[in-house]
């Protein structure tokens, strides 16, 4: 069951995601994305999308935030805020990466003005996900 976070925590995540957008490197799409990931330890890791002329080499803000958290030893996530101009949802690859660490993570989507456009969970964004539970037991 997903827990409800206090409004002030949601607002803090929104502000961090909106602030991070300024650092996005988006010379091709001009679609700035900022993400702020709250871990179970209480730390917030931000991320931005980074584009590349070889498009498949680009990376999304959500995955940057997750990879920063994981590289710092974090493995449990509470909530993720994503800020875009239009309140867009995470892509499939980001949904899959988030599901690896738990489908109860709350996901808040904000537009460029900071308006909440959707509050959901990773489970709702990626139903019937392929995760660790999908693999055979290791011997």
11 token code pair: 């607002």
Active-site residue, selected from the candidate residues 62, 74, 76, 100: 62
Beta carbons of 82 and 34 less than 8 angstroms apart? yes
Cα→Cα distances 30→51, 84, 120, Å: 10, 11, 26
Q: What is the dihedral of CA 7, 98, 96, 52, to 10 degrees?
A: 90
Give yes or no: 51 in active site.
no
Q: Which residues are catalytic?
A: 62
């Amino acid at each position: 069951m997903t827990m409800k976070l206090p409004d002030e925590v949601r607002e803090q995540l929104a502000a961090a995601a909106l602030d991070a957008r300024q650092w996005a490197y988006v010379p091709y799409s001009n679609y700035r994305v900022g993400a702020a990931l709250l871990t179970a330890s209480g730390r917030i890791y931000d991320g931005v999308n980074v584009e590349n002329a070889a498009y498949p080499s680009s990376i999304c803000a959500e995955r940057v935030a997750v990879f920063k958290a994981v590289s710092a030893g974090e493995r449990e996530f509470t909530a993720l805020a994503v800020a875009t101009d239009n309140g867009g949802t995470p892509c499939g690859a980001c949904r899959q990466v988030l599901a690896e660490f738990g489908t109860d993570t709350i996901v808040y989507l904000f537009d460029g003005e900071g308006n909440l456009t959707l509050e959901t969970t990773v489970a709702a964004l990626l139903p019937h996900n392929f995760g660790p539970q999908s693999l055979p037991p290791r011997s």
